[in-house]
Amino acid sequence: MSEEILRFLREHRSISKTNNLWKFNDSIHFRPLNESLHICSENLEDHRQFLQDKPRSDYGQLPVIYFVTPTYPRREQIPELTRLAHTLLHIPRLHWLVADDQEKCNNFIDTLLNRFGIPFTHLMSPMPSKFRNEKPAPRGVANRRAALQYLRQHNLTNGVLYFGDDDNTYDLQLFSEIRNTQRVSMFPVGLIADYGVSGPVVRKGKVVAFLDSWVAGRRWPVDMAGFAVNLEYMAQYPYVNMPYKPGYEEDLFLRSIGLKMDMIEPRGNNCTDILVWHTQTKSKKLGMIRLESKYLDDRSNLGALLLNLKLMGVASTTENEGRNALISKNGKEKPHSIILS
Our CB check for ligand UGA shows the closer of 76 and 177 to be 76
Give the range of 37-45, 68-76, 314-322, 325-333 binding ligand UGA by CB under 6 A: 68-76
Phi-psi region at 107: left, alpha or beta (left = phi > 0; alpha = psi -120 to 50): alpha
Out of 40, 91, 146, 165, the residue judged to bind ligand UGA by CB under 6 A: 165
Give the number of other Cβ atoms within 10 Å of residue 246's Cβ.
14
Phi-psi region at 19: left, alpha or beta (left = phi > 0; alpha = psi -120 to 50): left
Provide the H-helix boundaries in 14-140.
77-88, 107-116, 129-132
> Considering the rule CB under 6 A, would residue 143 count as an interface residue with ligand UGA?
yes
> Considering the rule CB under 6 A, would residue 76 count as an interface residue with ligand UGA?
no
> Considering the rule CB under 6 A, would residue 75 count as an interface residue with ligand UGA?
no
CB of 247 to ligand UGA, least distance (A): 7
> Considering the rule CB under 6 A, would residue 251 count as an interface residue with ligand UGA?
no
Out of 76, 177, 249, 251, the residue judged to bind ligand UGA by CB under 6 A: 249
Our CB check for Mn ion shows the closer of 165 and 249 to be 165
Per-residue contact track with ligand UGA, 206 to 245, x per CB under 6 A? -----------------xxx--------------------
Our CB check for Mn ion shows the closer of 101 and 167 to be 167
Question: Which residues, at least 6 apart from 281, have a Cβ–Cβ distance to it below 8 Å?
Answer: 76, 80, 167
Cβ-closest position to ligand UGA:
140
Q: What is the DSSP string of 248-259?
A: -HHHHHHHHTT-
Rounded Cα distance, 177 and 268, in Å: 7
Please answer whether residues 144 and 252 qualify as being in contact, where contact means their C-beta atoms are separated by less than 8 angstroms.
no
> Considering the rule CB under 6 A, would residue 101 count as an interface residue with ligand UGA?
yes
Give the range of 66-74, 149-157, 262-270, 312-320 binding ligand UGA by CB under 6 A: 66-74
223 contact choice in Mn ion, ligand UGA, none (CB below 5 to 8 Å, kind-dependent): ligand UGA
Q: In what order do the strands lie in the sheet with 206-211?
A: 169-170, 276-277, 189-190, 197-203, 206-211
Our CB check for ligand UGA shows the closer of 143 and 317 to be 143
Rounded Cα distance, 165 and 168, in Å: 6
Give, as ranges, the residues between 5 and 44 that touch ligand UGA (CB under 6 A): none
Q: Which residues are identified as catalytic?
A: 250
Please answer whether residues 187 and 271 qualify as being in contact, where contact means their C-beta atoms are separated by less than 8 angstroms.
yes
